[in-house]
Amino acid sequence: MGILTRKFHALAVLSLLCVPTWAVAGIIGSKHDLSIDGSYQVCVQCHTPHSASTQDGLKDAPLWNRLITNLDAFIPYASPTMTEICPTRPSGISLACLSCHDGSGGGAVVGTDQHVLVNPPKVANAPNGGGVNGAGCLKCHLNGGGYSPKLTLMGGPDLRNDHPISMSYPAANSNYNNPPDPTKGWVDLKLFAGKVECPTCHAVHDPTNVPFLRISAGGSTLCLRCHNK
């Protein structure tokens, strides 16, 4: 299937989901493209137009097509120098990311159906492939089921060695720069209801700055936007 045809199919699905066309254009061919051939199966790996997840947190994600068995299986980051606390259960916007990036090798820790799609027979654009050895699965997994060594950004469920998420931005701490909007953050670096979340730093639809960073990490630019050190 040619690239133009693939994009046409993907955009056709997006028109039904009311998703900006630039979103899928960035995903096609990127590491977030879990379809087999980059066709209209791109969006449905994460989103579904019908029968989306109704789990706490995940129900707030846009028509989310994935489940987490145990929403309380995560171990949050903690430090004696922090003025804010990360909750045991991450916020919905970060749970959406963790429904894939749980680091459990297919949900062995978080839950055996962590990668199971919601009501797959009812999803009009169900993904191709299936099972640990499905063609789509092998983009992330080895033949034995474990994650590929190339995938170094598996966050949870143990989040103690990752950047804090779902915590209120420490605006009162002089070690941090105050954002122009205390609720939404900066124009190009986002806060979500005043909290630091996975997509604060990562733009899941834009692979321009590896790994899906909202702004370049060169010269610690991304870090210094928040950290005043």
Instruction: Say how far apart CA 50 and CA 30 lie, in whole Å.
Output: 25
* Inter-CA distances, 20 with 23, 26, 43, 81, Å: 6, 11, 12, 40
212 versus 132: the higher-pLDDT residue is 212
Structure tokens at 89: 């259960």
Please state the domain extents for the chain.
169-229
Instruction: Say how far apart CA 118 and CA 116 lie, in whole Å.
Output: 7
124 versus 190: the higher-pLDDT residue is 190
Instruction: Say how far apart CA 209 and CA 23 lie, in whole Å.
Output: 15
Residue 36 CB coordination number (10 Å) = 15
Least confident stretch, 59-68, 82-91, 122-131, 183-192: 122-131
In this prediction, residue 146 carries a pLDDT of 60
54 versus 8: the higher-pLDDT residue is 54
**Short-list 7, 35, 212, CA closest to 135:** 35
Q: Find out whether 157 and 71 touch, Cβ atoms under 8 Å.
A: no
Question: What would the pLDDT profile of 98-123 be if each residue is shown by its tens digit?
Answer: 887 775 543 334 433 445 555 444 43
